[in-house]
Amino acid sequence: MRLAVSVTNSALQQKLHPDNEYLLVSERPAWQLLERLYAIAPSLPHYLFRRACRLEPCTQRAPVVDWLEGNGDSIGRVIDVDLRGDESQSVRSPAFRRKFVRGSATETQYELPPEGRTTNVVVFDLNVGSLEFSDTAELADTDAFTAKIFRRMKEAGARVGIGRYNEARLLYTSDVFASRGGENRTIHIGIDLFMQAGSPVFAPLDGVVHSFANNRAPLDYGPAIILEHEFDEGRVNFFTLYGHLSEDSFESLYPGKPIKRGDRIASIGAPPTNGGWPPHLHFQITCDMLGMQGDFPGVALPSQRDVWLSICPDANLILGIPDDLFPAPSLSSDQIIESRRAHVGPSLSIAYRKPLHTVKGFGQYLYDAEGRRYLDCVNNVAHVGHCHPRVVEAAERQMRALNTNTRYLHENIVQLADRLTAKMPGRLSVCFFVNSGSEANELALRLARTRTKATDIICVDGAYHGNTAALIDISPYKFDGPGGAGAPSHVHKVMMPDTYRGPFKADDPNAGHKYAADVMRALEEINEAGKRVSAFICESALGCGGQIILPDGYLREAFAHVRRAGGVCIADEVQTGLGRVGSHFWAFETQGVVPDIVTIGKPLGNGHPLAAVVTTPEIAASFDNGMEYFNTFGGNPVSCAAGLAVLDVIEEESLQENALKVGAYLKSELEALKSKHPLIGDVRGHGLFVGVELVLDREPLEPASKQAAYVVERMKESGILISTDGPLHNVLKIKPPIVFSNLDGDRLVARLGDLFAENFLNSL
């Protein structure tokens, strides 16, 4: 109505001022949107409004479902195979190990078991999180996908493969399935019946031909037929849809042609003429054609899922596949949240106002339960990409052979130790393997205390080193935060070497030396108390501190002070190691130093529980004091196999070089964004360890914490995951898997630019 009034007023103004061309410009977008709205059947917004009022969206659904449930004996078969379980047994598809398939599916009629030796049907899991069909590249390859479908049917002894109703799938990731809002239609609202091409298709009920068409993009049905059915003197009216048919299925059809139950109406098509899919029938019920003819959608937007499920009831009301053949539904997001509240400790927080329910990861992407893809710019643990096939295969292969503790000999642990120490400078040549960064830092403290016979620790303000009691004690990010009790007496905090917000700025060439002087102050404080320093622990770049890059010379000076006092220097590389900074394999190398102990976290296993401590022979010898160090799963064969694969992938895919090049490009693009938007106070980083600090004013540096939180939420809505960090919660942290690309950076920066240009953001 508002648009209609707008264009009416514009028409009036044009009549009064015919020479004013601006009037034509201003009304054009209104007409464009009116034309889009005019193409939408009025019943669809009606159903959307009913859904908003918590009513059944489609008013026709109830009588259709009631009739189908009450007249099962009157419903015939859709294909020439019994699906109801009356004549033979059916099976559920187990998880299936991925294999590479050669050969062309479009040229081969797939051999299936002969009738009489079958279980008739096998139900596939094509869901987003499927382990059986999980390779997105394979799903996009019609030949490979088809070969896999029919191989599984043959192995199961089935003549028909079932693709489920109300299933979120990654099959529909191309742009033709995307809405104008960027959301893909992923929810399957029919049932698939995979069979040999040419298999006959029958009408299960009396009806008439409503429409038929050869649908191409965006529906990709190929040839499709829609029948209309009417019962109880017109009180029950619905439609059945048959998609992916052969091209000759239309030969004798015309709109309004009467069809009897059992009539053969079509044949299953083959690629590419069936829309380019594996041979199958897409069968669907709809209660309202929404003014469409042969172009009715078979997949729906996740945001409209319950509306389309109401318009299109479960096609199994007609097919009659036994319910016990289908797996129990997965828990919904609301059910998971409710269970977490009841049984998971409340201190475990959930990201985002609307929590993200992830079920799959691949490369630099995460996928939610409804098939939406998110560019992951923050999960540094999946170092070489989520579910990297090389890492998964290595761990799976070793798991099939052996997984046990390190009291037995196994080559994986020594191979990984050799590979890691070869990447270390100086005398860093002895490894201890553990399960997490927290365990690594905990062990590093024990090594330092055993070596020095002292207990006092120097840590950096804003640092976070892990979740054990000893590590919370040396993590100001925790002990100075909510619920913290401050620094214990043996812990000495030094100022954060922050050249943006601290007293010594980035333009001061001696900033590193000046910040390191505070380490000297802490050492003097320890000495005056009659105690000795055990260790100085520092992240090679501060993560929770706000993506802080250490000023030149800081670690060199700080390490020198500590070593003169008899202490040990620990470099925490949990978030920064393994090539992330690009220019070097370890971030401490950017400072031109060699620590006494280096700790490495779960990125070493790409998320598998693997971490390590690397130290010198002298420190390791001090720790060999008669008390055995034993960690049941630290360095087990499976974890070490994953770690070896990670090192292989970094080298063979040149991921350290990628982090250097992409990180430099990303930083330059963010700097360009900073020049346009005063809300961005600072851009900093090395490689793919990047921080963007938001401020309300660049002079007093008042933190823009609300704006940062708003940006994180809006980016998530746009399918991009970032987070905030820093003591003031105003730093956008960007630490993606190091397979991140320039195109990913472009997408990230473009969306940030859109948000920073919003008046609302700047008014918060």
Instruction: Summarize pLDDT for 45-86 with one digit per residue, the tens.
Output: 999 999 999 999 999 999 999 999 999 999 999 999 888 865
Is 187 within 8 Å of 305 (Cβ atoms)?
yes
pLDDT of 696 over the 80 cut: yes
What confidence tens digit (pLDDT) does each residue in 236-287 have?
999 999 999 998 888 888 999 999 999 999 999 998 888 788 999 999 999 9
For 473, the 3-state DSSP assignment is: coil
- What six digits make up the tokens of 194? 């995979």
* Per-residue model confidence (pLDDT) at position 95: 37
Mean predicted confidence (pLDDT) in 216-237: 82
pLDDT of 111 over the 90 cut: no
Other CB atoms within a 10 A radius of the CB of residue 428 amount to 22
* 676 vs 120: CA distance, rounded Å: 64
pLDDT of 526 over the 70 cut: yes
H or E element, residue 123: strand 120-123
Q: How confident is the model at residue 694 (pLDDT cuts 50, 70, 90)?
A: very high
- Can you give 274-336 as a three-state secondary structure string? CCCCCCEEEEEEECCCCCCCCCCCCEECHHHHHHHHHHCCCCHHHHCCCHHHCCCCCCCHHHH
pLDDT of 145 over the 50 cut: yes
Is 706 within 8 Å of 697 (Cβ atoms)?
no
* Per-residue model confidence (pLDDT) at position 279: 93
For 39, the 3-state DSSP assignment is: coil
What confidence tens digit (pLDDT) does each residue in 603-641 have?
999 999 999 999 999 999 999 988 988 888 999 999 999
Output the CA torsion 408→412→414→418 (10° steps).
-170
| Range of weakest confidence among 85-99, 247-261, 649-663 | 85-99
Domains of the chain with bracketed CATH: 2-39 (no CATH), 61-324 (2.70.70.10), 389-652 (3.40.640.10), 655-763 (3.90.1150.10)
* Per-residue model confidence (pLDDT) at position 88: 40
* 551 vs 642: CA distance, rounded Å: 34
What confidence tens digit (pLDDT) does each residue in 535-582 have?
999 999 999 999 999 999 999 999 999 999 999 999 999 999 999 999
| Range of weakest confidence among 160-164, 181-185, 206-210 | 181-185
For 583, the 3-state DSSP assignment is: coil
* Per-residue model confidence (pLDDT) at position 179: 54
Report the percentage of the chain scoring pLDDT > 70.
Answer: 92
User: For residue 106, what is the DSSP state?
Assistant: G
Q: How confident is the model at residue 651 (pLDDT cuts 50, 70, 90)?
A: very high
| Range of weakest confidence among 132-141, 551-560, 676-685, 749-758 | 132-141
> Over the chain, what is the mean pLDDT?
90
Give the closest residue to 596 by CA, choosing from 421, 428, 418: 428
Is 224 within 8 Å of 215 (Cβ atoms)?
yes
Name, in order, each residue with C-beta under 8 angstroms of 198's C-beta and a sequence gap of 6 or more: 246, 267, 268, 270
* Per-residue model confidence (pLDDT) at position 217: 52
Strand ranges (E), 125-186: 158-163, 167-168
pLDDT of 87 over the 80 cut: no
Is 624 within 8 Å of 618 (Cβ atoms)?
no
The amino acid that residue 153 corresponds to is M
* 636 vs 643: CA distance, rounded Å: 11
- What six digits make up the tokens of 423? 């990447």
Give the closest residue to 655 by CA, choosing from 582, 745, 746, 588: 582
Cα–Cα distance list, 156 to 82, 90, 149 (Å): 16, 9, 11
Q: Where are the alpha helices (H) located in 688-733, listed in sequence order? A: 705-717
Mean predicted confidence (pLDDT) in 590-602: 97
Name, in order, each residue with C-beta under 8 angstroms of 254's C-beta and a sequence gap of 6 or more: 209
Q: How confident is the model at residue 92 (pLDDT cuts 50, 70, 90)?
A: very low
* Per-residue model confidence (pLDDT) at position 132: 81
Which neighbouring-strand residues pair with 327? none
* 214 vs 253: CA distance, rounded Å: 13
* Per-residue model confidence (pLDDT) at position 174: 57
* 598 vs 592: CA distance, rounded Å: 14
* Per-residue model confidence (pLDDT) at position 101: 28
For 423, the 3-state DSSP assignment is: coil
* Per-residue model confidence (pLDDT) at position 324: 84
* Per-residue model confidence (pLDDT) at position 1: 87
What confidence tens digit (pLDDT) does each residue in 719-730 have?
999 999 999 999
Output the CA torsion 313→314→318→319 (10° steps).
160
Decide which of 91 and 359 is more confident: 359
Query: What phi and psi, each to the nearest 5 degrees, are found at residue 98?
Result: -65, 135
Decide which of 213 and 588 is more confident: 588
The amino acid that residue 731 corresponds to is V
* Per-residue model confidence (pLDDT) at position 41: 86
* Per-residue model confidence (pLDDT) at position 117: 45
Cis bond before residue 737 (omega within 30° of 0): no
Which neighbouring-strand residues pair with 674? none
* Per-residue model confidence (pLDDT) at position 220: 63
Burial class (CB in 10 A: 0-12, 13-18, 19+), 53: exposed
pLDDT of 113 over the 60 cut: no
Q: How confident is the model at residue 103 (pLDDT cuts 50, 70, 90)?
A: very low
Is 516 within 8 Å of 558 (Cβ atoms)?
yes
- What six digits make up the tokens of 172? 């529909």
Mean predicted confidence (pLDDT) in 212-222: 69
Give the closest residue to 379 by CA, choosing from 587, 585, 575: 575
Name, in order, each residue with C-beta under 8 angstroms of 86's C-beta and a sequence gap of 6 or more: none
Is 752 within 8 Å of 672 (Cβ atoms)?
no
Give the closest residue to 403 by CA, choosing from 608, 638, 611: 638
The separation between CA 722 and the C-alpha centre of its own chain, rounded to angstroms, equals: 12
* 683 vs 680: CA distance, rounded Å: 8
pLDDT of 94 over the 60 cut: no
Give the closest residue to 534 by CA, choosing from 563, 504, 508, 571: 563
The amino acid that residue 310 corresponds to is S
* 498 vs 504: CA distance, rounded Å: 8
* 295 vs 735: CA distance, rounded Å: 44
